[in-house]
A = this chain, B = another copy of it.
Amino acid sequence: MRHRDEIPTPALLLDLDRFEANVSKMAAHLRDRDKAFRPHAKTHKCPAIARRMIDAGAVGVCTARLSEAEVFAAHGVRGLLVTTAVIGGPKIARAIELARQAPDTIFVVETEQNLCEIAQAARDAGLEVNLAIDLYFGRTGVSPGAPATDLARAITRQPNVRFGGIQAYDGAAAHTTPFDARKARSSGSMKQAVETRRMIEREGIECSLVTGGSTGTFLIDSEIDGVTEIQPGSFAFMDAEYAGIGGPDGAEYREFSQALTVVATVISRRPGVAVVDAGYKAFATDRPFAPTPIGLPGVTYGWAGDEHGRLDLTKSDCDLRVGDRVEFVPPHCDPTVNLYDVIHALRGDNIESIWPIAARGKSQ
């Protein structure tokens, strides 16, 4: 296969020019503000992309889960931060093995019990493991301020673990609309994180990592003193949801361009309707948006089952025939990518590479 039109559908396409521009823009923005860049790999789950991020200046990548991190480590990626707590004996044993393989990996903790279990396993293995505290902003983690400071102190008192800093991820801030509300929310959260850092430092504990932020908040968080690192994910691909969160000027969020699409084929045609071969198994459906057909003004997509979508042509002058290809902006990139085995990396119309989504399905 050389040309995009030879790719069996439905399939994921990545416009490399746009992708590279997105990565360069984010890397330059953070470099200029002296923030580390540790992009979140839960978006792409793809070692080839992680390597390109590191080539662009990233210090490593975040993964949401241990099993994802194992895949990236096995592909030689270092500088891993596992952003979810690792719970229970069997997973802790795997985390220790990962730390042996990739000693700079950072894990996060929320409770002293989990900390003690990890420290014990590290001691048994004769290793030292890096632990950051996960700060609570509405989902998981320990409360900012005194509770977090207590947990930091507890880490420093355990042998075989090293206090790595603070993870301050406010997931809801990323999608807060409009921009001003997002700025208020994310600044508030990040300032709490920085205050917690100062409390920890007043205890004489070094705290050189405050990591957080997202595609939606990087403009905000990267201006805050005391935040050391930004971990955005979707910026490299973009999707319908992120386009809609609103930019600083109140219009669409245009910091990055839409690089990821899903291509489908028209497989059935009736007056006013074209059925494509992409349904619930081709697009994640967790956002209240339908896939957006590209270059077909007035055409709308409707869900038509696990393997089918229905294009309404009645309000459009566009014609489509059986066999025609249609490209879509996906509603939400991360869980859409998780449905596919490979990303087709395109330079214009040509397939430059086919990248395995090696950590697809690694939600454990």
Contact status A277-B84, CB under 8 Å: yes
Asked if A310 CB lies within 8 Å of chain B CBs, one says yes
Contact status A361-B341, CB under 8 Å: yes
Kindly identify, within residues 93 to 126 of chain A, every residue whose CB is under 8 Å from any CB belonging to chain B: 110-111, 113-114
A270 to B137, CA, bound (A): 12
Asked if A265 CB lies within 8 Å of chain B CBs, one says yes
Contact status B360-A361, CB under 8 Å: yes
**Per-residue CB proximity of A219-247 to B under 8 Å, as 1/0?**
00000000000000000000000000000
Asked if A42 CB lies within 8 Å of chain B CBs, one says yes
Asked if A85 CB lies within 8 Å of chain B CBs, one says yes
Kindly identify, within residues 15 to 36 of chain A, every residue whose CB is under 8 Å from any CB belonging to chain B: none
Chain B residues with CB under 8 Å of A280's CB are: 284, 286, 332, 334-335
- Given known A87-B323, A280-B335, A305-B171, contact A9–B364 (CB-CB < 8 A): yes
Contact status B85-A268, CB under 8 Å: yes
Contact status A305-B8, CB under 8 Å: no
- Given known A284-B280, A338-B339, contact A140–B267 (CB-CB < 8 A): yes
A42 to B303, CA, bound (A): 17
State how many copies of this chain the complex holds. Answer: 2
Asked if A306 CB lies within 8 Å of chain B CBs, one says yes
A59 to B110, CA, bound (A): 53
**Per-residue CB proximity of A320-340 to B under 8 Å, as 1/0?**
001100000000101100111
Task: Determine which of B90, B113, B139, B338 lies in contact with A310 in the assembled complex, contact meaning CB atoms within 8 Å.
Answer: B139
Chain B residues with CB under 8 Å of A267's CB are: 84-85, 87, 140
Contact status A307-B114, CB under 8 Å: no
Asked if A88 CB lies within 8 Å of chain B CBs, one says yes
Task: Determine which of B6, B90, B334 lies in contact with A6 in the assembled complex, contact meaning CB atoms within 8 Å.
Answer: B90
Asked if A91 CB lies within 8 Å of chain B CBs, one says yes
Contact status A139-B308, CB under 8 Å: yes
Asked if A53 CB lies within 8 Å of chain B CBs, one says no
Output the least CB separation between A284 and chain B (Å): 6
Q: Which residue of B lies closest to A325 (CB)?
A: B88
Output the least CB separation between A113 and chain B (Å): 7
Contact status B8-A282, CB under 8 Å: no
Contact status B361-A340, CB under 8 Å: yes
Chain B residues with CB under 8 Å of A139's CB are: 268, 275, 304-305, 308, 310
Residues of A within 8 A of B (CB): 6, 8-11, 42, 64-65, 67, 84-85, 87-88, 90-91, 110-111, 113-114, 136, 139-141, 171, 265-268, 270, 275, 277-278, 280-282, 284-286, 303-308, 310, 322-323, 332, 334-335, 338-341, 360-361, 363-364
CB-defined A-B contacts under 8 Å, sample of 17: A8-B67, A8-B364, A10-B363, A11-B364, A42-B306, A42-B307, A84-B277, A87-B277, A139-B275, A139-B304, A141-B268, A278-B363, A280-B284, A286-B303, A306-B338, A338-B339, A339-B363
Extra pairs beyond A136-B270, A278-B363 (17, CB < 8 Å): A6-B90, A8-B67, A10-B364, A42-B306, A84-B307, A85-B267, A85-B268, A87-B265, A87-B267, A87-B277, A88-B323, A140-B268, A277-B363, A280-B286, A280-B332, A285-B286, A339-B339
